[in-house]
Amino acid sequence: MTANPNALLHRRDVVNELVRDRADLLVIAGLGAPNWDVSAAGDHPNNFPLWGAMGGASMMGLGLALAQPKRRVLVITGDGEMLMNVGSLATIAVEAPKNLTIAVLDNERFGETGMQKTPTASGVDLAAIATACGIRTSRIVRTMAEVSELRDLAHEGRGTAFAQIKINPEALVFVMPPADGVILTTRFRQSVLGDEALFN
Protein backbone atom coordinates (compact mmCIF):
# COMPACT_ATOMS: atom_id res chain seq x y z
CA MET A 1 0.00 0.00 0.00
CA THR A 2 1.41 3.37 -0.94
CA ALA A 3 0.69 6.51 1.03
CA ASN A 4 -1.48 9.16 -0.53
CA PRO A 5 1.00 11.77 -1.78
CA ASN A 6 -1.51 14.53 -1.05
CA ALA A 7 -2.05 13.52 2.57
CA LEU A 8 -0.85 16.00 5.16
CA LEU A 9 2.17 14.98 7.17
CA HIS A 10 1.87 13.72 10.72
CA ARG A 11 3.60 16.07 13.11
CA ARG A 12 5.30 13.43 15.23
CA ASP A 13 6.66 11.63 12.16
CA VAL A 14 8.08 14.99 11.08
CA VAL A 15 9.69 15.75 14.43
CA ASN A 16 11.06 12.22 14.85
CA GLU A 17 12.76 12.59 11.50
CA LEU A 18 14.09 16.09 12.21
CA VAL A 19 15.84 14.94 15.41
CA ARG A 20 16.92 11.52 14.09
CA ASP A 21 20.53 10.70 15.05
CA ARG A 22 20.65 14.02 16.82
CA ALA A 23 24.24 13.79 18.09
CA ASP A 24 24.91 17.16 19.75
CA LEU A 25 22.03 19.02 18.07
CA LEU A 26 20.46 21.72 20.28
CA VAL A 27 16.67 22.02 20.06
CA ILE A 28 14.36 24.86 21.11
CA ALA A 29 10.67 23.86 21.03
CA GLY A 30 7.89 26.43 20.88
CA LEU A 31 5.05 26.26 23.38
CA GLY A 32 2.11 23.91 22.94
CA ALA A 33 2.08 20.96 20.58
CA PRO A 34 5.64 21.43 19.24
CA ASN A 35 6.85 21.08 22.85
CA TRP A 36 4.87 17.83 23.24
CA ASP A 37 6.11 16.56 19.85
CA VAL A 38 9.76 17.18 20.68
CA SER A 39 9.24 15.55 24.08
CA ALA A 40 7.49 12.56 22.45
CA ALA A 41 10.60 12.09 20.30
CA GLY A 42 12.56 11.74 23.52
CA ASP A 43 13.24 13.99 26.49
CA HIS A 44 16.84 15.22 26.25
CA PRO A 45 19.01 17.69 28.16
CA ASN A 46 19.79 19.41 24.85
CA ASN A 47 16.12 20.26 24.40
CA PHE A 48 14.72 23.53 25.66
CA PRO A 49 10.95 23.05 25.46
CA LEU A 50 9.00 26.25 26.11
CA TRP A 51 5.86 26.29 28.24
CA GLY A 52 5.21 29.98 27.58
CA ALA A 53 7.04 32.97 26.08
CA MET A 54 4.93 32.80 22.92
CA GLY A 55 6.73 34.40 20.00
CA GLY A 56 10.19 33.90 21.48
CA ALA A 57 11.32 30.51 20.18
CA SER A 58 13.11 31.70 17.03
CA MET A 59 14.92 34.51 18.82
CA MET A 60 16.03 32.11 21.55
CA GLY A 61 17.44 30.06 18.72
CA LEU A 62 19.31 33.11 17.41
CA GLY A 63 20.88 33.96 20.78
CA LEU A 64 21.88 30.33 21.27
CA ALA A 65 23.25 29.97 17.74
CA LEU A 66 25.39 33.10 18.15
CA ALA A 67 26.65 31.89 21.53
CA GLN A 68 27.46 28.37 20.25
CA PRO A 69 28.66 28.84 16.66
CA LYS A 70 30.12 25.32 16.51
CA ARG A 71 26.85 23.61 17.45
CA ARG A 72 23.75 23.17 15.31
CA VAL A 73 20.56 24.81 16.60
CA LEU A 74 17.09 23.68 15.49
CA VAL A 75 13.98 25.62 16.46
CA ILE A 76 10.77 23.59 16.15
CA THR A 77 7.69 25.70 16.63
CA GLY A 78 4.13 26.25 15.48
CA ASP A 79 2.56 28.61 12.97
CA GLY A 80 0.75 30.62 15.66
CA GLU A 81 3.95 31.02 17.67
CA MET A 82 5.94 32.10 14.61
CA LEU A 83 3.26 34.55 13.51
CA MET A 84 3.24 36.26 16.92
CA ASN A 85 6.73 37.61 16.31
CA VAL A 86 7.14 37.31 12.57
CA GLY A 87 9.47 40.32 12.66
CA SER A 88 12.04 37.96 14.20
CA LEU A 89 12.57 36.59 10.69
CA ALA A 90 13.87 40.01 9.63
CA THR A 91 16.19 40.16 12.63
CA ILE A 92 17.46 36.62 12.06
CA ALA A 93 17.89 37.10 8.30
CA VAL A 94 20.16 40.08 8.92
CA GLU A 95 22.30 38.18 11.45
CA ALA A 96 22.32 35.09 9.20
CA PRO A 97 23.82 32.56 11.63
CA LYS A 98 25.16 29.57 9.68
CA ASN A 99 24.05 27.09 12.34
CA LEU A 100 20.34 27.90 12.77
CA THR A 101 17.32 26.15 11.25
CA ILE A 102 13.73 27.13 11.99
CA ALA A 103 11.09 24.47 11.33
CA VAL A 104 7.51 25.64 11.63
CA LEU A 105 4.94 22.86 12.08
CA ASP A 106 2.05 24.49 10.25
CA ASN A 107 -1.32 22.94 11.06
CA GLU A 108 -2.99 26.29 10.22
CA ARG A 109 -4.58 26.23 13.66
CA PHE A 110 -4.22 27.51 17.20
CA GLY A 111 -4.22 23.93 18.46
CA GLU A 112 -4.22 24.44 22.22
CA THR A 113 -7.20 26.76 22.29
CA GLY A 114 -9.82 24.96 20.23
CA MET A 115 -8.31 24.62 16.74
CA GLN A 116 -9.20 28.13 15.60
CA LYS A 117 -7.71 29.02 12.21
CA THR A 118 -4.46 30.98 12.04
CA PRO A 119 -3.63 33.33 9.14
CA THR A 120 -1.76 30.50 7.36
CA ALA A 121 -5.16 28.82 6.87
CA SER A 122 -6.03 31.80 4.68
CA GLY A 123 -2.86 31.48 2.66
CA VAL A 124 -0.31 33.54 4.57
CA ASP A 125 2.98 32.16 3.30
CA LEU A 126 5.58 32.14 6.08
CA ALA A 127 8.24 30.66 3.80
CA ALA A 128 7.76 33.56 1.36
CA ILE A 129 8.01 36.01 4.27
CA ALA A 130 11.28 34.38 5.34
CA THR A 131 12.55 34.55 1.75
CA ALA A 132 11.56 38.20 1.46
CA CYS A 133 13.42 38.90 4.71
CA GLY A 134 16.54 37.43 3.14
CA ILE A 135 16.65 33.83 4.36
CA ARG A 136 17.56 32.26 1.04
CA THR A 137 17.09 28.64 2.10
CA SER A 138 13.38 28.87 2.79
CA ARG A 139 10.73 26.43 1.67
CA ILE A 140 7.31 24.90 2.15
CA VAL A 141 7.59 21.20 3.00
CA ARG A 142 4.83 18.73 2.17
CA THR A 143 6.46 15.28 1.94
CA MET A 144 8.59 13.11 4.21
CA ALA A 145 11.33 13.13 1.56
CA GLU A 146 11.46 16.91 1.93
CA VAL A 147 11.46 16.53 5.71
CA SER A 148 14.54 14.29 5.40
CA GLU A 149 16.25 16.95 3.28
CA LEU A 150 15.40 19.50 5.93
CA ARG A 151 16.77 17.20 8.62
CA ASP A 152 20.08 17.06 6.77
CA LEU A 153 20.11 20.84 6.34
CA ALA A 154 19.47 21.30 10.05
CA HIS A 155 22.27 18.91 11.00
CA GLU A 156 24.85 19.74 8.33
CA GLY A 157 23.75 22.80 6.37
CA ARG A 158 25.74 25.96 5.92
CA GLY A 159 23.44 28.87 6.41
CA THR A 160 20.23 29.89 8.10
CA ALA A 161 17.33 27.72 6.93
CA PHE A 162 13.58 28.12 7.32
CA ALA A 163 10.78 25.66 6.56
CA GLN A 164 7.03 25.83 6.81
CA ILE A 165 5.94 22.21 7.13
CA LYS A 166 2.32 21.56 6.29
CA ILE A 167 0.95 19.07 8.83
CA ASN A 168 -2.32 17.41 9.72
CA PRO A 169 -4.35 19.37 12.34
CA GLU A 170 -4.57 16.30 14.55
CA ALA A 171 -4.84 16.52 18.33
CA LEU A 172 -2.49 14.03 19.95
CA VAL A 173 -1.84 12.91 23.49
CA PHE A 174 0.32 15.38 25.43
CA VAL A 175 3.85 14.16 26.18
CA MET A 176 5.31 16.58 28.67
CA PRO A 177 8.90 17.40 29.56
CA PRO A 178 9.81 18.85 32.98
CA ALA A 179 7.82 22.05 33.55
CA ASP A 180 10.27 23.68 35.96
CA GLY A 181 12.19 26.33 34.04
CA VAL A 182 15.11 26.12 36.45
CA ILE A 183 15.52 22.40 35.79
CA LEU A 184 15.28 22.90 32.02
CA THR A 185 17.78 25.78 32.12
CA THR A 186 20.26 24.11 34.43
CA ARG A 187 20.35 20.75 32.72
CA PHE A 188 20.67 22.37 29.30
CA ARG A 189 23.56 24.58 30.44
CA GLN A 190 25.24 21.70 32.23
CA SER A 191 24.96 19.54 29.13
CA VAL A 192 26.24 22.22 26.75
CA LEU A 193 28.77 24.03 28.95
CA GLY A 194 29.81 21.30 31.36
CA ASP A 195 29.67 21.14 35.14
CA GLU A 196 31.27 24.59 35.25
CA ALA A 197 27.83 25.98 34.40
CA LEU A 198 26.63 24.98 37.86
CA PHE A 199 29.07 27.40 39.45
CA ASN A 200 28.32 30.58 37.53
Which residues of this chain interact with other proteins, rule CB under 8 A? 26, 28, 48, 50, 52-68, 71, 85, 87-88, 90-91, 94-95, 181-182, 184-185, 188-189, 192-193, 197
Tell me how far, at minimum, the Cβ of 197 lies from other proteins, in Å.
7
**Minimal distance, residue 185 CB to other proteins, in Å:** 4
Nearer to other proteins, 52 or 123 (CB): 52
CA atoms within 13 A on the CB side of 171: 8
CB of 74 to other proteins, least distance (A): 13
Q: Is 106 helix (H, G, I), strand (E, B) or coil?
A: strand
Q: How far is the CB of 55 from other proteins (least distance, A)?
A: 7
Contact 36, 61 (CB under 8 A): no
Using the minimum distance from each CB to other proteins, give the nearer residue, 82 or 141: 82
Q: Given the complex with other proteins, which of 45 and 169 has the nearer CB atom?
A: 45
Rounded distance, CA 28 to CA 15, Å?
12
Checking phi first, is residue 100 left (phi over 0); if not, alpha (psi -120 to 50) or beta?
beta
CB nearer to other proteins: give 39 or 88. 88
The residues facing 106 across adjacent strands are 166
Q: What is the Cα–Cα distance from 177 to 63, expressed in whole angstroms?
A: 22
